[in-house]
A = this chain, B = another copy of it.
Amino acid sequence: MTGAERLSLNLITVDHWTLPEAVSRCAEAGLGWVAPWRHQYDDAAAAARTIAAAGLRVSSLCRGGFFTADGARADNRRAVEEAAALGAPVLVLVCGPPRDRDLRAARAAIAAGIDELLPFAVEHGVRLGIEPLHPMMIGERSAIVSLGEALRLARTFADPGIGVVVDAYHVFWDPRLEDELAAAAGLVAGYHVSDWLVPTESVLAGRGLMGDGIIELPRVRTSVEATGYAGPIEVEIINPAAPSLDDIVARFPDG
């Protein structure tokens, strides 16, 4: 795959569009893939038909995880079922924040939650992808905030049904990034791109178009691909001033 055929639009980027509208526009723009979020459809099977009818495939479903929340077990099983219905090969796991100031307990709960979920995911043909988030998101979203931690966690299961999702925006700062990826053959389940803008004005919604920020994206991609990852690359730009699809295609994948 080269060019836009490898481009998957993570649909949080265009969360202001309906799913049918997003799918239609992505197909017109020549994209090969989309990655929906669970709040963007009511019925996963109907969403799957909409996406397939447009000639697109699903690269991943966002998101499962939040293992530290009440009700996580049932909700994650539904997420796996929805991923299977969508034909999504990967369910992205945003693992959940600590409760009561206890990071170790959160990390243990995350490991236990994945251990419980993994056989169910494997049965459904859905790979789990642990996504380390940027450490600035630890309070609200994830106690897993470095690629090294995500890889260590994935390795504990020694199962091809689990890997990590590398988002350049979340991990580029890490001085250990290249060494971690050099030892991660076969463990990358997805790759996301956007850019880190300077000045950094928002903790959540300040992501930029590839090339507008400071991430050395070609270098990160080289390291990701050296692990053997050759699947779709998701563009995930969370920003109220969402770039146009034309600009995204023009800047894909490295700015």
Contacts and interface: CB of A to CB of B under 8 A. Distances in A.
B134 A146 contact: no
A129 interface: no
Given A136-B135, A214-B101, A215-B101, A175 B199 contact: no
A242 B172 CA distance: 32
Nearest to A107: B175
30 contacts: A97-B198, A97-B214, A98-B214, A101-B214, A101-B215, A101-B216, A102-B216, A103-B172, A103-B216, A134-B135, A134-B136, A135-B173, A136-B200, A136-B203, A137-B200, A138-B173, A139-B196, A139-B197, A139-B199, A139-B200, A139-B213, A139-B214, A140-B200, A145-B174, A145-B175, A146-B174, A146-B176, A148-B175, A201-B203, A202-B203
Given A134-B136, A139-B196, A145-B175, 6 more contacts: A103-B175, A135-B174, A138-B173, A139-B213, A140-B199, A202-B203
